[in-house]
């Protein structure tokens, strides 16, 4: 047989082109693109009719949190099985969660632990970023370079959070390792001391409801840290990715840096397009459903984030899926969280809704082209994190990671449609047009016509190359 599968009659879109063609798949790879591939009887074991459907590279969500320790008594709502199942139903073929180090831990041991959690438990492919909480000489001098060499080619640093925040000195040291090893640094940019000061002051004034979460980390907190992270990266002359940007002022810092020729990249997320601070204003802890950091802002910030996507200031659109159940003492309704917004588990689910929201609000409403959508949700993720062209495109030689979309299907987002571990979606009630109906990973359907058909364990761990985009400029 020439092919295992032919996908016939669909409209294929990549980050650059849209065209009608058939796709021939053999051994999990795309081996041919052409007209009438299935014309010869017996050309393939299976022919999939994609007439009327869009055939897109599977979504890659390069910013998700799965089974991450989240503080005493708090448990993340997703393990690798539920998160990757949910992701597959949302049109994704790969996710990149974090292996999070805590102070004093060996990074190598942390990575081993995450592999144990993920092994045999994934429906779609995964790869790990590292989170560096302990920038000790041993970690930076030995463990980190060895892990980059082994295919863990990106790491996140935090400028806030007890136990996670790095000093400027530590940030500089981590960035130096990135420059030497060719890894990509992801930065959570918020000013730790400013947040602590504002939080203390709000609590002293009795302002402890969830709505004050936003007040405790206003735009200036994010803008200042973004500026500082960029300045530190400029000193080292290393590319960085500012993740989960929520507003115009932080975005302008990135745009200014880029106009100076620096390789500073930006990511935004659905919550900054679809939610505002007032969502955290609900009675009876309803607002906890929307607590995430940076917090959702206002309508003007939403407009800014759209502009950032349209202008390429943001090259990535990720979910920052960080799932906690709502009606659960181990989740958003943890007893301590009722005493102050400070203790409400921080993060919201979104891996299953990221693509339908951007497709409908972006492509459907004329803000983005279909090709920009593919770039923002798949191709750029592969390029940024060392997976391209194995992942993130439809081309001969690439993995057959494909999502079939019904561009006309209308749905109203609701928890009843979701397949993850949480008990709510922050996007409840949003009407969308366009829906992923089938998802295929390396030539095998995981979701077919809205039904789970993939095997648990069908998803692989994928070691990564160094990204071209993480290469430092030759300035020295
Ligand atoms: N940062 C994230 O990237 N995700 C959830 C919470 C946070 O602070
Ligand atoms: Zn973060
Ligand atoms: Zn995150």
Q: CATH 2.30.40.10 spans which residues of the chain?
A: 3-57+397-452
How are beta strands 125-126 and 451-452 bridged, if at all?
unpaired
Measure 145 CA to ligand 1 centroid, in angstroms.
25
Q: Top-level CATH class of 59-371? A: alpha beta
Q: What is the pLDDT of residue 16?
A: 98
User: What atom of ligand 1 comes closest to residue 190's alpha carbon?
Assistant: 8
Q: What residue spans in the chain does CATH classification 3.20.20.140 cover? A: 59-371
pTM of the model: 0.98
Using CA atoms, how far residue 350 sits from 55, 356, 377, 389, 429, in Å, is 22, 11, 13, 26, 14
Phi, psi of 154 (to 5 degrees): -155, 145
Give, using CA atoms, the residue closest to atom 3 of ligand 1: 320
Q: 320 C-alpha vs ligand 1 centroid, how far in Å?
A: 7
- SS3 at position 325: coil
Supply 308's token pair: 């950032």
Name beta bridge partners: 92.
59
Q: Hey, whose CA ends up nearest to atom 5 of ligand 1?
A: 347
E strand or H helix that includes residue 384: helix 380-384
Give the Cα separation of 66 and 417 in Å (integer): 20
Report the pocket of ligand 1 as residue ranges, CB < 6 Å: 65, 188, 244, 292-293, 320, 322, 346-347
**Beta-bridge mates of residue 438:** 404
Query: Partners of 267 in the beta sheet?
Result: 316
Using the atom order of ligand 1, give the atom closest to the CA of residue 161. Answer: 8
Atom of ligand 1 nearest to the CA of 292: 6
The kind and range of the H/E element at 186 are: strand 184-188
Predicted pLDDT at 1? 84
Residue 270 corresponds to which tokens in the numbers above?
A: 């659905």
Which residue among 293, 348, 351, 354 is best mutated to probe the pocket of ligand 1, counting the most ligand atoms within 8 A of its Cβ?
293
Nearest CA to ligand 1 atom 8: 293
Integer Cα distance of 382 and 25 in angstroms = 20
- Ligand nearest to the Cα of 161, by number: 1
Mutate to test the pocket of ligand 1, among 130, 192, 347 (most ligand atoms within 8 A of CB): 347
Helices 192-204/219-236 angle, 10° precision? 160
Give the C-alpha separation, 423 to 165, whole Å.
30
Distance 98 CA to ligand 3 centre (A): 9
pLDDT tens for the chain, residues 1 to 476: 899 999 999 999 999 999 999 999 999 999 999 999 977 768 899 999 999 999 999 999 999 999 999 999 999 999 999 999 999 999 999 999 999 999 999 999 999 999 999 999 999 999 999 999 999 999 999 999 999 999 999 999 999 999 999 999 999 999 999 999 999 999 999 999 999 999 999 999 999 999 999 999 999 999 999 999 999 999 999 999 999 999 999 999 999 999 999 999 999 999 999 999 999 998 789 999 999 999 999 999 999 999 999 999 999 999 999 999 999 999 999 999 999 999 999 999 999 999 999 999 999 999 999 999 999 999 999 999 999 999 999 999 999 999 999 999 999 999 999 999 999 999 999 999 999 999 999 999 999 999 999 999 999 999 999 999 999 987 66
Q: Per the CATH hierarchy, to which homologous superfamily does domain 3-57+397-452 belong?
A: Urease, subunit C, domain 1 (2.30.40.10)
């Amino acid at each position: 047989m020439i092919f295992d599968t032919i996908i016939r009659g669909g409209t294929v879109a990549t980050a650059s082109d849209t065209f009608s063609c058939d796709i021939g798949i053999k051994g999990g790879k795309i081996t041919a693109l052409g007209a009438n591939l299935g014309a010869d009887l017996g050309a393939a074991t299976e022919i999939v009719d994609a007439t009327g459907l869009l055939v897109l590279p599977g979504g890659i969500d390069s910013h998700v949190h799965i089974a991450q320790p989240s503080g005493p008594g708090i448990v993340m709502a997703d393990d690798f099985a539920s998160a990757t199942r949910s992701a597959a139903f949302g049109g994704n073929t790969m996710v990149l969660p974090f292996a999070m180090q805590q102070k004093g831990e060996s990074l190598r041991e942390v990575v081993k632990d995450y592999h144990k959690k993920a092994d045999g438990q994934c429906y779609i492919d995964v790869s790990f970023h590292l989170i560096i909480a302990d920038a000790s000489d041993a970690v930076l001098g030995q463990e980190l370079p060895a892990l980059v060499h082994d295919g863990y080619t990106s790491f996140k640093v935090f400028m806030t959070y007890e136990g996670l925040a790095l000093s400027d000195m530590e940030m500089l040291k981590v960035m130096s390792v990135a420059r030497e090893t060719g890894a990509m640094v992801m930065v959570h940019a918020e000013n730790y001391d400013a947040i602590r000061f504002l939080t203390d002051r709000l609590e002293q004034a009795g302002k402890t409801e969830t709505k004050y979460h936003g007040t405790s980390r206003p735009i200036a907190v994010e803008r200042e840290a973004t500026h500082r992270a960029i300045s530190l990266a400029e000193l080292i002359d290393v590319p960085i990715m500012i993740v989960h940007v929520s507003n115009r002022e932080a975005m302008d810092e990135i745009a200014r840096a880029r106009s100076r020729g620096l390789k500073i990249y930006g990511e935004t997320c659905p919550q900054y397009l679809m939610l505002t601070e007032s969502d955290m204003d609900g009675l009876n802890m309803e607002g906890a459903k929307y607590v995430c950091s940076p917090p959702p802002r206002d309508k003007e910030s939403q407009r800014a984030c759209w502009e950032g996507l349209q202008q390429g200031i943001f090259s990535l659109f990720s979910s920052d899926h960080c799932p906690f159940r709502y009606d659960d003492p181990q989740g958003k309704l943890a007893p301590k969280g009722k005493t102050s917004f400070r203790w409400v588990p921080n993060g919201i689910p979104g891996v299953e809704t990221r693509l339908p929201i951007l497709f409908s609000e972006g492509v459907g409403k004329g803000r983005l082209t279909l090709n920009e959508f593919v770039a923002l949700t798949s191709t750029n993720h592969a390029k940024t994190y060392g997976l391209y062209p194995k992942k993130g495109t439809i081309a001969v030689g690439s993995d057959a990671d494909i999502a079939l979309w019904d561009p006309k299907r209308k749905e109203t987002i609701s928890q009843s449609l979701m397949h993850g571990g949480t008990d709510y979606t922050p996007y409840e009630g949003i009407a969308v047009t366009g829906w992923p109906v089938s998802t295929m990973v390396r030539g095998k359907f995981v979701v077919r016509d809205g039904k789970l058909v993939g095997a648990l364990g069908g998803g692989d761990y994928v070691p990564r190359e160094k990204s071209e985009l993480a290469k430092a400029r030759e300035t020295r």
